[in-house]
Amino acid sequence: MYDTIIIGAGIAGQTAALYASRKNMKFEILSTNVGGQFLESGEVLNYPGITQTTGAEFSSKMEEQMKFNKVKIIKANVTKIEKMGTNFKVIGAKKTYETRSVIITTGARPRKLGVEGEDRLSNKGLTYCAICDGPLFGGMDVAIVGGGDSALEAVDFMKNVAKKIYLVVRGKLTAHEYLQDNIKKIKNLEIIEGDSKEVLGDKFVSGFKVGTKDGDRDLKVSGVIVEIGRIPNTDAFTDFVKVDEHKHIEIDCTTKASIPGIFAAGDCASGHEYQYVIAAGQGCMAVLKASRYLARKQGE
């Protein structure tokens, strides 16, 4: 019987494992990959204490830290969690783990455009996070794709960074009214209604093709920021714990989920602020709260 099982090995999961190891908890960390969204990140410039790195370098450093703390990440696809009295069964494709608590850190994945050039030019001028990578496009022309809150927040963030911003919207804006009012004041913004058709460029992004009612239009941009939402990796848990309308696991401010003994951290959890530093902090919080939960449970 484990004290806790951590599901997911992005920054939230690995931070949780680090703290679980240092607290001498009996645990395992299970994941289909190591690194999570680090594997899709380009430059990382906003993590405290690290001036400049890349997703790959950051992931490598995390792996070194896991080895230093004797944490072994088990490659496993968790398909289900079940109650077992006051404890839990974490069911994988090949093995079932019995545990007194569970920490879910399975992250999320960007919703992609599905157009030619997108995968090839990802991290080469195309990004899914304005806050993370937007400053790389200082003084350049950029296209931001999306019409929801995250897209308009990206426009607001980029207004003093980019030379010109093209906001490509399929249909109507769906963001909150106050965000729509805010962007009306931005002078270096042009809104284009149309469908994303192709990301242009050889080694790096050099343009973005948009289909409009008047025909195709090639935008001469050096960056494309895709902000059309993220998909939480929670399909295995939506029948077990309470989730919000977007399938994020609902947590309180201490990372507790709807079932006592279940905790969630990072991009799979409610809160919708997709930042590494937040995921790491929640991963730490989840272990500390799980430890307190187990101590209280033992004293009952």
pLDDT tens-digit readout, 47-79 = 899 988 888 888 899 999 999 999 999 999 999
Question: Could you tell me if residue 120 is inside a domain?
Answer: no
Torsion 244-36-72-67 (CA) sign? negative
pLDDT band at residue 167 using 50, 70 and 90 as cut-offs: very high
Measure the CA angle with vertex 122, ends 75 and 169; round to 5°. 120
Question: Could you tell me if residue 117 is inside a domain?
Answer: no
Question: Could you tell me if residue 248 is inside a domain?
Answer: yes
* Contact (Cβ atoms closer than 8 angstroms) between residue 11 and residue 62: yes
| Residues 60, 73: Cα–Cα separation, whole Å | 14
Q: What is the pLDDT of residues 79-89, one digit of tens each?
A: 999 999 999 99
Residue numbers of the domain that contains 287: 4-110+230-299
pLDDT exceeds cutoff 70 at 45: yes
Residues 141 and 98 in one domain: no
pLDDT exceeds cutoff 80 at 98: yes
Question: Could you tell me if residue 91 is inside a domain?
Answer: yes
The number of distinct structural domains making up the chain is 2
Question: Could you tell me if residue 279 is inside a domain?
Answer: yes
| Residues 243, 247: Cα–Cα separation, whole Å | 5
Task: Provide, rounded to the nearest whole percent, the portion of the chain with pLDDT above 90.
Answer: 79
Average pLDDT over residues 252-273: 95
Q: What is the pLDDT of residues 202-217, one digit of tens each?
A: 999 999 999 999 999 9
pLDDT of residue 40: 65
User: Which tokens in the block code for residue 211?
Assistant: 């289909």
Of 125, 146, 139, 136, the closest CA to residue 200 belongs to 125
* Contact (Cβ atoms closer than 8 angstroms) between residue 111 and residue 196: no
Residues 291 and 194 in one domain: no
pLDDT band at residue 38 using 50, 70 and 90 as cut-offs: confident
Residue 54 sits in a domain whose CATH number is 3.50.50.60
pTM metric for this prediction: 0.78
**Cβ neighbours of residue 246 under 8 Å, at least 6 residues apart?**
229, 232, 272
pLDDT exceeds cutoff 80 at 13: yes
